[in-house]
Chains A and B, each alone.
Chain A
Amino acid sequence: MMTLLLSFCRSLQMLWKNRLYPGSSPRNWTFSVLYSYFHFSKKEQRYFSFTLPFQRNTKATNFLISQAISSNKNDKDTSRQESSFSPHPLFSAGTAKKKSELLGYKKDQQHYFPFSRPELLPTKPLSSEEWEKVKENFEQKNIFENWMMKQMIKYNCSIDIAKSLLSWIARKNNGIVEYKLLIGYLTLCVSQRQTAEIIDVYEIMKTRYKTLEREGYTLLIRGLIHSDRWRETLILLEDIKKVMSPSKKNYGDCIKGALLHREMNLAWNLYFEMLNHRIIPNWETFQAFFDFAKGVKNNEFERRLLDILLYLRNNQMYPNEPFAQSIKMWFESIPEKKWKGESVLIHKSGQCLACGRMLESIHLNSEEYEFLKQRVLKDVLDGGDQYRKTTPKEINRFEKFIKNCPPFDIVIDGLNVTKMFPKIRESETLLDVVSQLTKQNFQVLVLGRKHMLNGSSRWQKNEMTAVQNMAYCFFADNVSEDDAFLLYATLHSGNQCRFLTRDLMRDHKACLPDEKTQHLFFRWQQGHQLVFLNYYPGKKIIFQSVLTYDTVIQTTGDSWHIPYDENMVERYSYEVPTKWLCLQQQN
């Protein structure tokens, strides 16, 4: 009975979801993603299938994959068209989520069905005697009041009921209501926006307590900004500052209050103060500025809003969808200038489909490039202690080797590439990849470890010698990290050089000292990392296209291009959005 119900609910939920988001991910696109992760998922399954007891539907997954392949074969045109829009196979928003779903994570974890029964929760204000009766039915008498308040907040009760609870407690308690209950009541009032009540509670708190703690202040600020006494939120903000720095929420609420009451200068001052304290504002705060700017005609104001956009650009932040809508609305609301906004995808060549302009190139300029090269050498390869990742002797050997070689076109992470296909002998895969690439007249460098040369069933000696004859090879010690060498070799060879690995290099990125450098590294990585599109040893190698344009807010004066996060897509931190807002002035 119970299980039946449960399973029914589950199916209902799924039905519900499907109804809610119709066509948010078109069929073909899903399949193309599936397809590009075909090899990946195979490999992952090998490692994870035994650790995941809840991954039961391997068969279903396999079926999906095979279906994906066949569908991809059937309508190649559509898939090609789709793939030209997904900017980079590894870094476009949502791929990691899709992959994890494909592998069966989360699916079973998400379903829970709380059978909570607020049986004691009244529907109308009760008198004292009635409250006593309710309390009798409750087991743990000492937490009854707090528990009841919590339930009321959870189910968003009408405040009259809460009031009746408080008056009962006050009568019992010589007219004293605990601070905790008062905070609970305030939470309820704020969530229902009962401004008059909030002011009453504010008065009570003022008389009873000298200072409040953070939650009380936050709630009061949030509640008071809609009232006439919104200026007092600034006093409250000052009070918080005496003990600790206010949160972005506190600042955001104060700014919103100021904007609501048309005190633009005050709002801007608060905003700048916030930035000075290195607090990154909420999206709601940014959005509030853009929303309130629609009615205002003020050049100074306009300039500051554009400054916000530049701030976002410098910090590599991507707006969320509602904020992107606000930006669009604001631009379109400027009279005379006739801005027109559109949400678009970008062609893989970097051309905006709406206006035809080319986006900024992802390639670093020579100064940035040189800087990144030095940092990688210093922080990633050396890292303060040369012995941790390698040895000084090996670094010397590597530097000599690099100097004696011509610049490379492709640097291959030998171990990573060969381990992609667990059923095929490692040396065979490597030989196949290297021979195909050298046939296309690429200068190839293979990085590996010394144990590859020792000759075993997986690494055959004759194949390895063949590889060494075709390409330059560098074999690090078995205990060294070869990734760092890979990065440096690629950077040393110049801008045309790419590297082939499936590793996302996040640990190496984390070695870099500050966010600016990390972002430089990420930009370089997006533009230089090669991934197989569809390769199985023996077949022809095709790489996924690398990004040529930088995913960042950018302007040419009469146009803006703003990448943003879609509501339904969960973006991981190392991914970039695929959707763009294109704004252009029409003449």
Chain B
Amino acid sequence: MSACFMFLRHFARQSVVPFVHHKKGASLYKKGASLYFTILHRHLSSRTPFLFYPNKENVPPSEKIDLDEWKNTMKSSLPEERSSLTTSEDTLTMTREWIEMCRMLNREVPEHISDEDLKMIAECPSKKSKKKKLKFLYIKEKHKKARQEKQARKRAEKEETKKQKQLENDEETENRELKNSFLLPLQDRAFKTEWDWRNAQAMIFGQPLVFDMAYENFMPERDLKNTVCQLLESEGANRKDIDPFHIYFCNLRVDSVYHKELLNRYKEKWNTLFLTATEKSHVDIFPKESLIYLTADSPNVMTTFRHDKIYIIGSFVDKCSQPRVSYANAKRLNIASERLPLDRYLQWEIGSKNLTLDQMMRILLTLKNTGDWEKALKFVPRRKHSGFHTNSINSKNFVKGSQKHKLEIKKSFRKLSLNSQNRGMWWKDE
């Protein structure tokens, strides 16, 4: 201890003090001193490093400050007296009050809470689930508020421009002519009709793409909703494509949660959608040889997009810790399986290799139209990888796929992906 102290003192004299003296800057002195103080206190004593209040000398020894004054006011400021904290009321009001108190501490709880949500919170089994639910509601409320504010702002802006226009219009209204235009403004509807035509064609001649809906029991309700969101998104992407797939929703049982949720989201549009929803399994509809199950757990890597095959995507948001569910399914039905060549093209960094359904859909669409892997894998989220392999072979060479070339690829891949991707390689062996 004393040795340390000596050392420090020596050090301080040697370095801090001369430094300060040389510069003679007031601010520097302060900084050095505080540094010295902090170090001294951190390491040699448990005393807290207060700095002196700057005006200390100027203040006259003031009259005694009444320290307990606030207590009296706090106690007396409320007219009604309560005997104790306890009030015999039902849990819901208690919970509401409790949430209110949490809000006073700036905890992440919502300001307004509906009775249904309150009931749900009161019924949550654990503290953690309560906290999570409250945080979810809090964030939801915050988003809603932000949206409303934005809307109000926009409305105000619109009205202002309207007023200005009106003022201008009043002046120019007499000398205004009708415009000569080529089209009536009907663009949206025209697009929709065009898309519908294309999708109707795809229903007859298009390549099938299957969404396997057999994973209902593996997901909690929250994930199920996310899955349906992703399905909607991917259906939308497909509809707008120049050469859409013919989408199949297989294993979709009527009155299952999936079906209900889809109906709920699509409403009356559901019956006019250009896709095939069926209760049958994909193995019953298509020949087994032409089916390929896409799953990240597959040992086989997809090299090319084949136009004569039928790809299956499991509509499954895999947040539960049950690995290899979809691969097990493919094995059970004895279907070929493939995974995307993510490691071959991308320098993978974080995140799981499971992509969302809409990302898969966009990748497959791009592959179908161009066959270009680099273009297709642009849809992989940027946060997950740090870029494409620089000397990666373009897809055409890859399709030719001479054995020698493959080896070279492997070598270059090994060289490039010495970090985390490597694990993807050796899991096979261990």
Contact = CB atoms under 8 A, between A and B. Distances in A.
Interface in A19-54: 19, 47, 50-51
Interface stretch (A119-127, A290-298, A535-543, A571-579): A119-127
Interface string A76-115: 0000000000000000000000000000000000000101
A61 to B, nearest CB: 19
B295 to A, nearest CB: 12
Interface string A228-245: 000000011011001111
Contacts of A212: 85, 101
A204 B74 contact: yes
B84 A235 contact: yes
B323 A239 contact: no
A336 to B, nearest CB: 44
Among B71, B127, B329: residue with most chain A CB under 10 A: B71
A112 to B, nearest CB: 12
Interface in B380-430: 418-420, 422-423, 426, 428-430
Given A15-B4, A203-B75, A167 B323 contact: no
A127 B66 CA distance: 9
A170 B75 contact: no
Given A115-B38, A119-B34, A156-B48, A167 B69 contact: yes
A5 B35 CA distance: 9
A519 interface: no
A9 interface: yes
Interface string B177-189: 0000000000000
A187 to B, nearest CB: 12
B73 interface: yes
B266 interface: no
B204 interface: no
Nearest to B332: A387
B402 to A, nearest CB: 20
B211 to A, nearest CB: 21
Contact of A180 (B35, B105, B429): B105
A216 interface: yes
A84 B38 CA distance: 47
Contacts of B39: 5, 9
Q: Is the interface of A mostly helix, strand, loop or mixed?
A: helix
Interface string B217-228: 000000000000
A179 B105 CA distance: 7
Interface string B32-68: 0011001100110000111111010001001001111
A169 interface: yes
A243 B95 contact: yes
Nearest to B329: A387
Given A51-B420, A387-B332, A416-B430, A177 B70 contact: yes
A365 B70 CA distance: 69
Given A239-B85, A244-B130, A388-B324, A115 B43 contact: no
Contact of B75 (A4, A179, A204): A204
Interface range on chain B (Cβ under 8 Å from partner): 35 or more
A356 B147 CA distance: 75
A164 B38 contact: no
A520 B49 CA distance: 53
A239 B65 contact: no
A51 B428 CA distance: 20
B91 interface: yes
A209 B51 CA distance: 37
B100 to A, nearest CB: 8
Given A117-B34, A211-B101, A243-B98, A387 B328 contact: yes
Nearest to B72: A175
B101 A207 contact: no
B52 A388 contact: no
Contacts of A169: 70
A511 B329 CA distance: 20
A118 B51 contact: yes
A247 B131 CA distance: 14
B65 A127 contact: yes
Contacts of B429: 415, 419, 449, 451
A515 interface: no
Among B74, B102, B329: residue with most chain A CB under 10 A: B74
B77 interface: yes
Interface string A126-156: 1100100110000000000000000000011
A391 interface: yes
Contact of A118 (B50, B59, B67, B426): B50
B328 A205 contact: no
B97 A204 contact: no
A47 B98 contact: no
- The 4 closest A-B CB pairs, nearest first, are A175-B73, A170-B70, A387-B328, A213-B101
Interface of A: 1, 4-5, 8-9, 12-13, 15-16, 19, 47, 50-51, 113, 115-119, 121-127, 130, 133-134, 155-157, 160, 163-164, 166-167, 169-171, 174-180, 183, 200, 203-216, 235-236, 238-239, 242-245, 247, 385, 387-389, 391, 415-416, 419, 449, 451, 478-479
5 contacts: A47-B422, A50-B418, A50-B419, A244-B127, A415-B430
